[in-house]
A = this chain, B = another copy of it.
Amino acid sequence: MITGKNYIGYMLSEKGGKTYKTINPKLNVENSPTYYEATSEELETAMDLASKAFISYRDMPGKRRAQFLNAIADEILALDDLLIETYMSETGLPEGRAKGERGRTVGQMRMFANLIENDDWREPVVDLAAPDRAPLPKPDLRQMLIPLGPVVVFGASNFPLAYATAGGDTASALAAGCPVVVKSHPMHAGTGELVASAIVKAAKDTGMPEGVFSNLNSAGIEVGQQLVAHSKVKAVGFTGSIRGGRALFDIAGKRKEPIPVFAEMGSINPVIITQRALENRAEEIASTYAQSITLGTGQFCTNPGLLVAIESEELTNFSKDLGNKTAAIAPQPMLHPNIVAAYDRNGAAIINENETTLVAQYDGELPINYAQAKVVTVSGEAFLNNSNLQQEVFGPFSMLVQCANQDQMLAVIANFEGQLTGTIIAEEADYSSMAPLVQTLQSRVGRIVFNGVPTGVEVSSAMTHGGPYPASTDSRYTAVGSHAIKRWVRPFSFQDFPSELLPSMLHNK
């Protein structure tokens, strides 16, 4: 049952007078529950509880925290149809997507549970003493990773489950030993409350300290700003827009005690297509990319918003074909009326730049809140001279950059803002001369996909979901995969410690 209240530790709480509702974008109606925005007092209580919970939670054995995480996964599944229906009513996304995302969320939670079943992830190092070393004796040093403290998580609008309340940030922080306070996303507050109830039930059932998790509602920016500025918060995870992520990063940087903010933000995920690939399989590439551009109504952080190739007859034909194929795909609703409005506004801004040409757009009937897919082209020279053309258009929109030659293509790649991914579509005969392209693209992205599509982010120990700014605020971390836990921990050293005071993972073998 959705109450519209905040979870302050184990307590459902609604002390404030500010309320809001969510919207069903497909039907263009408000959903019925009323949500109560968290007050400053509720926020303080949540942070007090988190701070106290940290004292016992940080030193709890990994196996116990793993039980908690597995119980969260079980409780999310136990929400069953209510969760799926709420998700669909708040996003306009279809049932298959809802269930797939739930599977991913539960899978991530179990992956982190599995990771912390033993202490290898803490990277224990034992460097024994050498008392007789000259000129100075060498001390006994032992190091391991320890959690930072309470973490605030801001979920994404586009992944109400996998990058939200119990998403990768929350799962990795709880696994690390950090209590989590979630600033609930207002567009899917109901989905958020249901998942929060699952976490709270799991916490109670597995004997976690109250305050290990809280969920704060908010439709505005104040609650988030207060959280990031709060002295008891020790790190922040965010997934969303560049503007939003940068604002939080700036608040954190101005604190008396600055804290790390890992924000995964905008990306247009450039795709480089070689001439040989166009000659051999232009139609196949156009079909694949028309699908990738419109997948999930283009609302993926790895959506391919930019294609780059060298001018040729094949490219001209490819451009028309891609445009037609993209425009022919049945439109779908976007997540929220505000997101549709931004899509239309940002797409129009690109199309209104003098240098761009609209190749094709969906031209059938367009129900309210549905996105009109668009493909545009621009020359390599114009792209190089106009940084506005690198602004992300969140939705089923892609721009094809037509370069004059190979050198201009390398210049275009070198000029990219930081990106989550880059993709290379090439033929085997290209490989031997490709090193400069790979190297240049590598310097601008966190991951290169070869002969595939960037959409689809595998949860893997080898995944980098991050990249140079503005793809993320710190390219040294990933938001997806087991290494995501490293964002919430710091190394700690014990020097010349008596064995009985050392954590067991640092005892002599």
Are B450 and A494 neighbours in the complex by a CB distance under 8 Å?
yes
Are A469 and B418 neighbours in the complex by a CB distance under 8 Å?
no
Q: Is A379 an interface residue when CB atoms closer than 8 A count as contact?
A: no
Contacts A496-B449, A498-B450 hold; do A490 and B475 have CB atoms under 8 A apart?
yes
Are B495 and A136 neighbours in the complex by a CB distance under 8 Å?
no
Interface residues of A in 405-446 (CB under 8 A from B): 418, 428, 431-432, 434-435, 438-439, 442-443, 446
Q: Which residues of B contact A59 (CB under 8 A)?
A: 439
Are B439 and A496 neighbours in the complex by a CB distance under 8 Å?
no
Q: Which residues of B contact A149 (CB under 8 A)?
A: 443
Are B452 and A492 neighbours in the complex by a CB distance under 8 Å?
no
Q: Is A250 an interface residue when CB atoms closer than 8 A count as contact?
A: yes
Are A501 and B466 neighbours in the complex by a CB distance under 8 Å?
no
Q: Is A462 an interface residue when CB atoms closer than 8 A count as contact?
A: yes
Q: Is A36 an interface residue when CB atoms closer than 8 A count as contact?
A: no
Q: Is A110 an interface residue when CB atoms closer than 8 A count as contact?
A: no
* A393 smallest CB distance to B (angstroms): 21
In-complex Cβ contact of A260 among B250, B428, B476, B487 (8 A): B476
Are B258 and A141 neighbours in the complex by a CB distance under 8 Å?
no
Interface segment out of the listed A167-175, A188-196, A202-210, A453-461: A453-461
Contacts A258-B473, A434-B501, A460-B127 hold; do A446 and B492 have CB atoms under 8 A apart?
yes
Q: Is A274 an interface residue when CB atoms closer than 8 A count as contact?
A: no
Q: Which of A55, A125, A492 is most buried by chain B, counting CB atoms within 10 A of its CB?
A: A492
Are B463 and A141 neighbours in the complex by a CB distance under 8 Å?
yes
In whole angstroms, how far apart are the Cα atoms of A500 and B450 in the complex? 12
Contacts A141-B458, A143-B462, A462-B143 hold; do A447 and B493 have CB atoms under 8 A apart?
yes
Contacts A451-B496, A462-B142, A496-B452 hold; do A474 and B257 have CB atoms under 8 A apart?
no
Are A493 and B142 neighbours in the complex by a CB distance under 8 Å?
no
Are A493 and B446 neighbours in the complex by a CB distance under 8 Å?
yes
Contacts A474-B260, A492-B447, A500-B431 hold; do A463 and B253 have CB atoms under 8 A apart?
no
Chain A 234-261 interface mask (CB, 8 Å, partner B; 1/0): 0000000000000001100100011010
Q: Is A329 an interface residue when CB atoms closer than 8 A count as contact?
A: no
In whole angstroms, how far apart are the Cα atoms of A126 and B501 in the complex? 37
Q: Is A507 an interface residue when CB atoms closer than 8 A count as contact?
A: no
Are A463 and B143 neighbours in the complex by a CB distance under 8 Å?
yes
In whole angstroms, how far apart are the Cα atoms of A477 and B492 in the complex? 10
Residue of B nearest to A499 (CB): B431
Chain A 46-63 interface mask (CB, 8 Å, partner B; 1/0): 000000000100010000
Q: Is A376 an interface residue when CB atoms closer than 8 A count as contact?
A: no
Contacts A146-B442, A464-B143, A501-B431 hold; do A449 and B495 have CB atoms under 8 A apart?
yes
Q: Which residues of B contact A438 (CB under 8 A)?
A: 501
Are B478 and A418 neighbours in the complex by a CB distance under 8 Å?
no
Q: Which residues of B contact A258 (CB under 8 A)?
A: 249, 253, 469, 473
Chain A 466-509 interface mask (CB, 8 Å, partner B; 1/0): 10111001111110000100110111111111101100000000
In whole angstroms, how far apart are the Cα atoms of A487 and B490 in the complex? 12
Q: Which residues of B contact A463 (CB under 8 A)?
A: 127, 141, 143, 493
In-complex Cβ contact of A450 among B148, B435, B495 (8 A): B495
Q: Is A135 an interface residue when CB atoms closer than 8 A count as contact?
A: yes
Contacts A125-B461, A249-B253, A434-B501 hold; do A456 and B493 have CB atoms under 8 A apart?
no
Q: Is A33 an interface residue when CB atoms closer than 8 A count as contact?
A: no
Q: Is A448 an interface residue when CB atoms closer than 8 A count as contact?
A: yes
Contacts A431-B500, A434-B501 hold; do A127 and B495 have CB atoms under 8 A apart?
no
Q: Is A220 an interface residue when CB atoms closer than 8 A count as contact?
A: no
Q: Is A139 an interface residue when CB atoms closer than 8 A count as contact?
A: yes
Are A497 and B450 neighbours in the complex by a CB distance under 8 Å?
yes
Q: Is A16 an interface residue when CB atoms closer than 8 A count as contact?
A: no
Q: Which residues of B contact A431 (CB under 8 A)?
A: 498, 500-501
Are A448 and B497 neighbours in the complex by a CB distance under 8 Å?
yes
Q: Is A367 an interface residue when CB atoms closer than 8 A count as contact?
A: no
Q: Is A138 an interface residue when CB atoms closer than 8 A count as contact?
A: yes
Are A127 and B497 neighbours in the complex by a CB distance under 8 Å?
no
Are A135 and B458 neighbours in the complex by a CB distance under 8 Å?
no
In-complex Cβ contact of A478 among B486, B491, B495 (8 A): B491
In whole angstroms, how far apart are the Cα atoms of A141 and B462 in the complex? 6
Are A448 and B490 neighbours in the complex by a CB distance under 8 Å?
no
Q: Which residues of B contact A458 (CB under 8 A)?
A: 127, 138-139, 141, 495
* A65 smallest CB distance to B (angstroms): 17
Closest 8 CB pairs of A and B: A141-B462, A253-B253, A127-B462, A143-B462, A464-B493, A447-B493, A125-B462, A475-B490
> Can you show 20 pairs from A to B with CB atoms below 8 A apart?
A59-B439, A125-B461, A126-B462, A127-B461, A138-B458, A139-B452, A141-B460, A143-B462, A253-B253, A257-B469, A257-B470, A446-B490, A447-B492, A448-B497, A449-B496, A464-B493, A476-B486, A476-B487, A476-B491, A477-B491
